Structure 1
Amino acid sequence: MVAILFLLNLSNSFAQNWEIGISAGGSNYLGDLSPDIVLKETKTYGAFFFKKNISPFFSNNFYFYRGKISGDDNNFKHLKIRNLNFCSTITEISYQLEFNFFKFAIGLNPNRFTPYVFTGFGTFFFQPVTTYNGNVVRLKPLDTEGKKIESNKNSYHLVQPVIPFGGGFKIKLNKDVNLAIFVGFRYTFTDYLDDVSNTYYNIDVLEDKYGPLSPVLSDRSEIKIGFNGKQRGRPDMLDFYYFYGATLSVKIRNKVCFEF
């Protein structure tokens, strides 16, 4: 109720056919440290958005997301020996084109519900970290796979393009308020959300270049399996992240009348 009142108060100075909304729910990822869905690694996200209804079937949506993802080899029997883990904050700005299967528009449209799908494009920022001896450590500066040494360039970029896609179900609570539940996947163009992609690098070279922490976090296995050139990740498979949750939006009014 507080959220609805807050959004309604913000709507007074804008034009009709626009909505303003908030979203919250769970966030997770698929990648080298999590090849399958692991529910216990689910983190949370929050978002706000503006929606422009261009017809009863289509709308333009502009989103800002902030959430977390994580992964751990210890969740999988065949990966435990590698013993890597990470977490990262995801900050995303994206445009999404939404399509309703039934005619649906906030206001007086007779349909109160519809399934819908969406896709679009955007950009996101991430920063993989891990915990070592009780301290949070950023992984990219340690160049754990020696990519920067090999190419004399950045090992990978922390700002990346993303393609959001997914779908859900929305319902009209009243003529001014919509509620939706959804699942939204993110196709990325990087395999380094988790700082793992290719092969192990020579630990002596890593230590000479970055200090003792780089080789330690490159190979965290107890029996030290990471000899130079051995496969560390799967570069043929890019990483995904995804959100699932609910959105709440209200119509933005261009004129408000008060009765006393």
Structure 2
Amino acid sequence: MPVTIKLPLMPKFIAGFLLLFITINTNAQTWEIGGALGAAGYIGDLNVNNPVKPSGAFAGLFVKRNFNRYLAAKLSYSFAQISGADSTSSSQQFRDRNLSFKTPLQELSLMAEFNFMSYIPDAGKNKYTPYIYAGAGITSYAPKATTQAGNVIGLRGLQTEGQASPYATKAIVVPFGAGLKYNFSGKWTVAADLGYRFTTTDYLDDVSGLYASPASLPNATAVKLADRSGEKTGVYIGTPGTQRGDFKPRDFYMFVGFTISYTFVTSACYY
């Protein structure tokens, strides 16, 4: 009897693109490998106004298939940390709320990349080109908070907004961005780019909707971390049913930095 293995939607999606990634046959194919390093930022309930505010670092590795001088597919793994703290906000309303978080991110993504100029390192007339990219991927996240005593506490299991169950550990992401690459030596390329990730979660920061009733929270730690407004003043403003988050349905994060890569140029590329 045949056995059917059911894969989640996102792995199926990536597997399909991987098949395309491996089997497409065009002229001037080249493989490229590289790494990335830079800053990570977050846009969400604790940072609603600044889309280019770094709050952590990121590093990554990637492999790319250049199908021709303009179009490529890139498989990338990135590790990052993002954070936010109301105490650093210019808004008194945010400072009064006094929430904060840090979360590590692990992202696996597959992206299409388009060069605006004909570009193959060590094989083309152009030493540089601007480019854009977009794709899809999956990221894991695990927001944590540091208590007044200095203890780091995971927030998901505390269900700080009175959720019926903890939110997911992973989210689908849609990366998109732009950059500039430069062939600085032989088959080596350096690039600078800025990219954003649209996510399918509003809980990168553990903040989304309303303050919950303390009676609906699972334990005393959840009560303390759900409303931190009175930690310094002794006056707590988190009345159950009042606004805790910004009511926007999704959080974003961004990567800005540099990549360096080596391209394995085939002889066909010179023609």
Instruction: Place the TM-score, normalised by the shorter chain, in its bin.
Output: 0.7 to 0.9
Shift of 1:236: 2.5
Counterpart residue number, 1:9: none
Shift of 1:156: 1.5
Gapped regions of structure 2 (runs ≥ 5)? 1-28
Which of 248, 254, 264 is 1:236 aligned to? 248
After TM superposition, the structure 1 = structure 2 runs for residues 69-148 of structure 1, keeping only pairs within 5 Å, are 69-76=82-89, 77=91, 78-132=93-147, 133-148=149-164
TM-aligned CA distance change 1:189 to 1:176, over 3 Å: same
Counterpart residue number, 1:57: 70
Give the Cα–Cα distance (whole angstroms) in 1 for the partners of residues 172 and 121 of structure 2. Answer: 31
Shift of 1:254: 8.0
Residues 93-152 of structure 1, C-alpha deviations (whole Å, 9 max, x = no match): 00010000000112311100010000000000000000011110000100000112xxxx
Residues 59-95 of structure 1, C-alpha deviations (whole Å, 9 max, x = no match): 0000000010000111222301110000000100000
TM-aligned CA distance change 1:122 to 1:115, over 3 Å: same
Gapped regions of structure 1 (runs ≥ 5)? 1-15, 149-153, 256-260
Give the Cα–Cα distance (whole angstroms) in 2 for the partners of residues 141 and 27 of structure 1. Answer: 25
Residues 154-206 of structure 1, C-alpha deviations (whole Å, 9 max, x = no match): 33112110000000100001231011000010001111100000101111231
TM-score (norm 2): 0.82
SS in 2 for 1:183: strand
Shift of 1:41: 5.2
Residues 5-38 of structure 1, C-alpha deviations (whole Å, 9 max, x = no match): xxxxxxxxxxx71011000000010110111338
After TM superposition, the structure 1 = structure 2 runs for residues 219-258 of structure 1, keeping only pairs within 5 Å, are 219-222=227-230, 223-252=235-264
SS in 1 for 2:126: coil
Counterpart residue number, 2:50: 37
Does the CA-based 8 Å contact 2:177-2:196 persist in structure 1? yes
TM-aligned CA distance change 1:135 to 1:227, over 3 Å: same
Aligned length: 233
Counterpart residue number, 1:214: 222
Which structure carries more relative contact order (alpha carbon 8 Å, separation 6+)? Answer: 1
Does the CA-based 8 Å contact 1:191-1:235 persist in structure 2? no
SS in 2 for 1:232: coil
Which of 175, 195, 209 is 2:186 aligned to? 175
Which of 41, 44, 53 is 1:28 aligned to? 41
Shift of 1:226: 1.2
